[in-house]
Amino acid sequence: MLEDVLPLLLEKTRFLITTHVRPDGDAVGSQLALGLFLQKLGKQVAMINTDPLPGNLDWMPGVEAIEVFNGALAQHEYIGGADVIVVVDANALDRLGRKMAKPVKNSGALKILIDHHTEPETWFDRTFARDTASSTGELIHELITAHDPDLIDEAIATALYAAILTDTGSFRYSSVTPAVHRIVADLLERGSMAPPAVHAALYETRNPEWVRLLALVLDTLTLRYDGRLSYLVVTRRVLEETGATTEDTEGFVGYGLAIEGVEVALIFTETLRGTKVSFRSKGETYVHDWARAFGGGGHRNASGAYFTRPLNEVIDDVLASAPRYLGLSDSDPDNDGTLSPEDAAYLSTLLDMKSQR
């Protein structure tokens, strides 16, 4: 709860703020806003992550202060000697990534969680977590406002606005309430930033490779289970051919979900070491338990899981498990989750796909 966390933030001196791997707008915006707030209170603050910022977030005011963990003695010493470690927008140790997980776990600092994912791990000393919040940015706004709303300046407002904007899919997900719009109104008043400029910085700085990748990935669209499930596939080959990166696939899954009648959209991404699966759903069909069944997690309508297994096996397994999560009976022969011969043939051509250009 907020009351468990705020007094500690006011009392302690040396802070580390960290967030999840492949940080997104909510992760970075929340980290930055909290960091800037604590600095305004005269605190010592370091912000260190496992992964670097994606290119569409490097414009945010104050991002120069965010470091990537490089194992340097100075970073180890800071993390080990911090009074408080605040983890934002991630509630599980493995979400912090290979580099940060260990130093965070081993530090003698008090561990605070500020987050909106379901089922937080239990190693935190204090938590301010609400899984119905639109974003972690919303919680940071609540926290700063409870202390002194006048501390929200343009940089903090911009960071929080970007956090809420990205995690609500530009204010369209079911987590968006009148309260969220009131927070956003407050941020626009205090920060005076221009929404078109923030939107352009976040979403309109793509390169041609991104568009080519999108074209090839959209071509993999497959519908299953009477059109209630759609999936897209991103192979290493297609990434290599287009010169794009896995980071460029952010948001692609939304195209699968845009189809009428689709309740769940998946995107399978082949990586160097395995396969990443993103789960998205609409309405009352939830995907967090599904992702969790494979060691992942997230939100009811947006989750993810990572497999250290080959793409084709993962596609097979995840699709085979679909009936339970679509509310279908496992034994219904029409809902057999295994690949049909046509789908299997299609998948193998996909995996061998030569350049289509």
Q: Does 26 bind Mn ion (CB under 5 A)?
A: yes
- Taking the complex as a whole, the smallest distance from the CB of residue 352 to Mn ion amounts, in Å, to 37
- Measured from each CB, the residue nearest to Mn ion is 26
In the bound state with ligand 5GP, the residue whose beta carbon lies nearer, of 17 and 155, is 17
Residue 249's binding partner out of ligand 5GP, Mn ion, none, with CB under 5 to 8 Å set by partner kind:
none
Please say which residue, 75 or 220, places its beta carbon nearer to ligand 5GP: 220
One-letter amino acid for residue 53 of the chain: L
The yes or no reply on residue 28 touching ligand 5GP (CB under 6 A) is no
Binding ligand 5GP (rule: CB under 6 A), the pick from 306, 314, 318, 350 is 306
302 touches, from Mn ion, ligand 5GP, none (C-beta below 5 to 8 Å by class): ligand 5GP
Q: Which stretch binds Mn ion (CB under 5 A): 162-170, 198-206, 297-305, 329-337?
A: 162-170
Question: Which residue, 28 or 100, is less far from Mn ion as judged by CB?
Answer: 28
**Rule CB under 6 A: is residue 25 a binding residue for ligand 5GP?**
no
Asked if residue 89 binds Mn ion (CB under 5 A), the reply is yes
Strands, E, within the chain: which ranges? 14-18, 44-49, 66-68, 84-88, 110-115, 126-129, 222-224, 229-234, 264-270, 275-281, 297-298, 302-307
Confirm or reject binding of residue 190 to ligand 5GP (CB under 6 A).
Answer: no
Residue 111: partners with Cβ closer than 8 Å, 6 or more residues away: 84, 85, 87, 104, 123, 124, 125, 126
Phi, psi of 47 (to 5 degrees): -120, 115
Applying CB under 5 A, does 138 fall inside the site for Mn ion?
Answer: no
Report the phi/psi class of residue 263: left, alpha or beta, with left for phi > 0 and alpha for psi in -120 to 50.
alpha
- As a whole number of angstroms, the distance between CA 128 and CA 119 comes to 13
Q: In the block, which residue shows the tokens 């530090």?
A: 107
CA-closest candidate to residue 166, choices 251, 87, 229, 224 = 251
Count of residues for the chain? 357
Q: Which stretch binds ligand 5GP (CB under 6 A): 54-62, 146-154, 155-163, 297-305?
A: 297-305
CA 332 to CA 149: how far, in whole Å? 56
The CA distance from 60 to 201, in Å, is: 9
Indicate whether 268 belongs to the interface with ligand 5GP (CB under 6 A): no
| Interface residues toward ligand 5GP, by CB under 6 A | 92, 95, 117, 278, 296-299, 302-306
| Interface residues toward Mn ion, by CB under 5 A | 26, 89, 136, 167
